[in-house]
A and B are shown apart, each in its own frame.
Chain A
């Protein structure tokens, strides 16, 4: 399976570029962890690397931090190649996955650590002042003298954040910062992080495997797979115009039906599905004539109606989610798929019960023709 590297580099708005990856690859022995990464990060942007574990997202982040040296290509900060610049000389700071706070120091000593390394020395009083201010920013005012192990997971997370932002880095790198938090705290932290980013104007680069996290916080998401960038775009772009089945599957949920492209892929095209049905859909980029493709239709784009109005299915399972009802339906030849019906539809057209026969339909523009990979 060969995945074409995604080379398009688009920046939302006309932001100044603070960091750049140019044809960056990294191998550990025989393992190629990152391959031909090309990416520009704009000033003040919130960019996420999204992908499953082992996709190279952490390696990409570590190369920006200076913990890994690229095997090939260039890492640029503010237009300068920094491949050979050690982590301690880069104006970049990181929030580590398990926070990596110094256990033998107080909260204030942890946060002031970066400032204490600067030569000529910053006066102690000034450091203390800035530490207090940083603590205020992360809403931990007055916690200066606490010990690290006295703090809860969420508080430690904020200390780690304060320890990084106090240095006013060009890039703030966040390595799965929410992984150790429970769901509720994670939601709160996500909102706080976004607020913080707007407030400080620091460029954030987040690594996550959680699509929800990436979708809710990022200006742009860089979807990765097997060490390569698959697609870069805003959350909406990725959701509405995924360039492959992989992205459509990873960003949001979708139903996929395999088939073969009839004729050339130009705008609205016809696909002959494996079960013999002919359907219309919007062709994505980079497809060739008669290619094996799949049709992707989001569950919420499907309409569940009464018989005779689309493909006939049997309702297999029904999950009431409040504002939506999720139906798992099965079709004789298409197999099982998901339909998300808004509450309103249930109310006006009547809800379906498990075992009911129904018809599923969708607009041709909602069906995307994508590469099967």
Chain B
């Protein structure tokens, strides 16, 4: 897509080049982190396969913590970098803030590595209160403190980034326009691309998520000072923040597809009344869907649980009827240019849908009674993460690399990448689903004898991840070449 023609008022050629370069640096960093963090997951499945019988389980939980936080963080910044680059067509995000975030994220990640791999801090991504304070001597207080400092650094940087992108949108669009209210009310107004609408919704919500995270961290401090904190309140806040962060990352990916897929399909995909209604509904529903993480907390009133299920179910409507259907309608019988990027976008939306179905099933209270914290949970979120937003962001990086380097891709290698990613990815996921349906718990370093079949499923998954990693490495080879060429350009 040519950017320069329509942004002459906003960007000088030099500034835009700098921004593009920064985006490439983000992309390269994401590409570097992907195989490292993926190998951590590989390690976990190997651990569960009993390949390291003499290794202490503390390592499993520390790696689990780094893998989950690292992946969530990587794809969130990947999504933010991609969206802010695409927003340069319409408005003026700050390059300085992007740079600040780059260094801030790097510091945060290094601190996370230090406290997990160096300090064996192993509470999982959600550091559920009061677990960080109950280490049983596994991790030292310095690791706990480092962990919270890392979270604070990341949270602060990402909050600033969120606010800056909102500021950039506000420079050009009124709130009414940015939320698509003109379309909703059928009133005349400026053209608002879906990218802007979805970004606005996502950024507002993610700001709320970061505020919740700040409250959680502060309350941890208050508890450490000796005032008892309600663990149920902490759980609500933790999942409010966690659920939002993960969902927003998905939405940032979807926003990119809305923006980029039309150029491959040769058809427009514009905001209209239905799209506006859908995303404004998301803005509301997403604030309450997190209740489905607390179904097994009987201390939550029953009406809250019911409301959680209702919101979770209804979140499927805007996603399915508007975004997924819209994507299918856009591609159907079009003059689609199937490249690595466009295939990844298309498959990413499919993964979002498949994972969403599994999520809706699990958000049923009756089903969750049997699925909560089994491997069904990582099954569904890995589906819309790994086979969803990750593919989309990989597609975006490839799209950008191609746009700048003009290095053509080789169809056989593209086919090989897609085949390996699909086979490895869905094969790996199928073991999660199958194990979840057979009551195998998640987050177990070693399976007890009664659940020994979990070890078998882990071994099968190990095979599939090997295939998946081959796909990832082949992708890195292909896209990496383009990115390097793009840098030197």
**Do A and B form a real pair?**
no
Q: Which residues of B contact A (CB under 8 A)?
A: none
Q: Which residues of A contact B (CB under 8 A)?
A: none
